[in-house]
Chain A
Amino acid sequence: MDHTLIVQLLISGILLGGIYALGSIGLTLIFGVMKVVNFAHGEFFMLGMYLTYWLFHYFQIDPYLSTLILVPAVFLIGLVTYYVFIRPTIGSSVLAQIFITVGLSTIIQNTVLLFWSADFRSISLSYATDAMVFGPFPALGVDEVMVNPSRLIAFSLAICLSAAFYLFLRFSYTGKIIRATSQDRSAALLMGINIDKIYKLTFAMGIVLTGLAGGLILPIYSVHPFVGFDLVLIMFVVVVLGGMGSVVGAVISGLIIGVVEVFSSYWLGQENKQVIYFLVFIAVLVLRPSGLFGLKEEEEVERIEAIE
Chain B
Amino acid sequence: MKPLNEITKGDRLHLRFVVSAVAVVLALVLPLLIGNDFYLDGLILIFMWGTYAAAWNILAGYAGMVSLGHNAFFGIGAYTSTLLLLRFGLTPWAGMLVGGMLASCVGLILGIVCFRLRSHYFALATLAFGEVTYIVAVNWRSLTGGSEGLALPIQPSFYLFSFSSKLPYVYIGLFFLLTVIGISYAIQQSRLGYFLLAFRENEDAARALGVRTGRVRLIAMVLSSFLSAIMGTFYAQYAVFIDPSSVIRIQLSVQVALFAIVGGVGTVMGPVIGAMLFIPITIALRAKMGTALPGLHMIVYGIILVLVLLYMPQGISTKLKEKVPLLTKIWRG
Contacts and interface: CB of A to CB of B under 8 A. Distances in A.
Contact of B136 (A92, A118, A275): A275
Interface string A98-130: 111011111101110110001000000000000
Contacts of B129: 282
Interface string B182-212: 0000000000000000000000000000000
A278 B128 contact: yes
Contact of A289 (B116, B293, B309): B116
Nearest to A271: B139
Contacts of A92: 313
B188 to A, nearest CB: 18
Contacts of A113: 294-295
A99 B124 contact: no
Contacts, number: 126
B135 A99 contact: no
Interface size class of A (residues with CB under 8 A): 35 or more
Contacts of A275: 132, 135-136
A57 B259 CA distance: 40
Interface in A263-308: 271-272, 274-275, 278-279, 281-282, 285-286, 289, 297
Interface in A1-46: 31, 35, 37
B294 A285 contact: no
A279 B132 contact: yes
A94 interface: yes
Q: A-side binding surface: helix, strand, loop or mixed?
A: helix
B8 interface: no
Contacts of A103: 301-303, 305-306, 309
Nearest to A282: B128
B135 A285 contact: no
Interface in B63-85: 64, 66, 68
A88 interface: yes
Contacts of A98: 66, 68, 120, 123
A272 B138 CA distance: 9
B119 interface: yes
Interface residues of B, number: 43
Nearest to B303: A107
Contact of A114 (B119, B125, B293, B301): B293
B309 A106 contact: no
B142 to A, nearest CB: 14
A285 B125 contact: yes
A88 B307 CA distance: 11
20 contacts: A37-B123, A93-B313, A94-B64, A95-B60, A95-B265, A98-B68, A99-B258, A100-B306, A100-B309, A102-B257, A103-B301, A107-B306, A110-B299, A114-B295, A233-B128, A233-B131, A236-B128, A240-B121, A278-B132, A285-B117
Contacts of B310: 88-89, 100
B299 A106 contact: yes
B298 interface: yes
A82 interface: no
Contact of A106 (B113, B293, B298): B298
Contacts of B117: 285-286, 289
Contacts of A96: 309, 313
A107 B313 contact: no
A109 B295 contact: yes
Given A94-B120, A114-B293, A99 B131 contact: no
Given A95-B60, A105-B302, A281-B128, 16 more contacts: A94-B123, A95-B66, A95-B265, A99-B66, A99-B257, A102-B305, A103-B303, A109-B295, A110-B298, A111-B295, A114-B299, A233-B128, A282-B125, A286-B125, A289-B116, A297-B118
A85 interface: yes
Contacts of A286: 113-114, 117, 125
B330 interface: no
B90 interface: no
A110 B119 contact: no
Contact of B299 (A31, A107, A272): A107
A279 B119 CA distance: 20
A285 B117 CA distance: 8
Contact of A94 (B119, B261, B299, B301): B119
A271 B119 CA distance: 30
B105 interface: no
B296 interface: yes
A103 B298 CA distance: 9
Shortest Cβ-Cβ A-B pairs, 4 listed: A110-B295, A107-B302, A106-B302, A103-B305
A118 B116 contact: no
A106 B301 contact: yes
B120 A37 contact: yes
Nearest to B254: A102
A35 B120 CA distance: 9
A105 B129 CA distance: 20
Given A94-B119, A286-B114, A104 B306 contact: yes
A37 B118 CA distance: 13
